[in-house]
């Protein structure tokens, strides 16, 4: 009745980061309310204060019916939040395989078109997140895509799938990745750390001790290893094909990554 009386379908609330009504109903999976708002012209790409769209919220919660509804009404697959995360990444991080599959089946912008997030880039980001979260089914699904490269680091967090899985301690994911061609000598992106002599820039691969035990059995050369089970930010293993690069133990925050995960 309020909508018939002229109320705005894009009304912004004071909850969940000043979410528009569409975002709230998408998050809760209320298909009929989402449909009603869209029928009255709600902006399907409206976001919260953090730039999170209704599509990303529905994807994160696994509401595939709402995701499908939003896409059919023009929700942008390539839209990202303030941190650069797309709906596909939200679905992958939450382990929602059905939503991941649907989003990947949709028509994405052509690579490089107007600087929008492409299917290949979004899928690579989703792969790294799935590896870091231990979602094996999504990982395998993404690895079957022609656009995804098992040894490529993503453009958002700088990890490869293997360094993301190893950092989080997911041994089974590491097994899958090595079986699918992951190279233990491939590094993630550069990081700057500081020691008593000044600043140094290095490439590094972060491996937990139990993951190292598995990888060493594959026959790859590993030298001068420092192993630890402590959270990210302490000493770490550096794996290389010949020789090694080893820096001093770093305090939390000095290695440029978030502690405890990706």
CATH number of residue 42's parent domain: 1.25.40.20
Q: Are 69 and 35 in contact (CB under 8 A)?
A: yes
pLDDT at 113: 58
Q: Are 193 and 254 in contact (CB under 8 A)?
A: yes
CA atoms of 169 and 163, how far apart (whole Å): 10
- Residue 144 within any structural domain of the chain: no
Same domain membership, residue 158 and residue 95: no
- Residue 159 within any structural domain of the chain: yes
Residue numbers of the domain that contains 35: 1-117
**What is the C-alpha R_g of the chain?**
21
With vertex at residue 123, the alpha carbon angle to CA 168 and CA 34, rounded to the nearest 5 degrees, is: 100
pLDDT at 115: 63
Same domain membership, residue 193 and residue 111: no
- Residue 141 within any structural domain of the chain: no
Same domain membership, residue 160 and residue 112: no
Q: What is the pLDDT of residues 48-82, one digit of tens each?
A: 999 999 999 999 999 999 999 999 999 999 999 99
Reported as a pLDDT band with limits 50, 70 and 90, residue 9 is low
pLDDT at 75: 97
Q: What's the total number of domains in the chain?
A: 2
pLDDT at 90: 98
pLDDT at 101: 98
- Residue 77 within any structural domain of the chain: yes
Same domain membership, residue 174 and residue 246: yes
């Amino acid at each position: 009745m309020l909508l018939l009386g002229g109320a705005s379908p894009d009304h912004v609330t004071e909850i969940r980061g000043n979410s528009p009504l569409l975002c709230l109903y998408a998050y809760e999976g209320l298909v009929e309310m989402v449909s009603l708002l869209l029928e009255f012209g709600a902006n399907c790409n409206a976001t919260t204060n953090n730039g999170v769209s209704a599509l990303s919220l529905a994807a994160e919660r696994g509401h595939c019916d709402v995701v499908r509804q939003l896409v059919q009404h023009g929700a942008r697959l390539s839209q990202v939040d303030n941190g650069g995360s797309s709906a596909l990444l939200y679905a992958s991080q939450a382990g929602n395989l059905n939503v991941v599959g649907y989003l990947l089946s949709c028509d994405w912008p052509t690579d490089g078109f107007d600087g929008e997030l492409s299917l290949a880039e979004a899928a690579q980001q989703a792969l790294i997140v799935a590896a870091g979260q231990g979602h094996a089914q999504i990982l395998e699904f993404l690895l079957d895509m022609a656009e995804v490269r098992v040894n490529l680091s993503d453009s958002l967090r700088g990890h490869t799938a293997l360094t993301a899985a190893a950092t989080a301690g997911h041994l089974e994911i590491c097994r899958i990745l090595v079986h699918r061609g992951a190279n233990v000598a491939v590094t993630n992106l550069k990081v700057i750390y500081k020691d008593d002599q000044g600043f140094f820039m290095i490439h590094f691969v972060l491996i937990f001790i139990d993951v190292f035990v598995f990888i060493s059995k594959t026959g790859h050369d590993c030298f001068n290893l420092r192993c630890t089970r402590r959270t990210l930010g302490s000493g770490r293993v550096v794996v290389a094909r010949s020789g090694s690069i080893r820096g001093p133990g770093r305090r939390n925050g000095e290695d440029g990554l978030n502690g405890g995960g990706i």
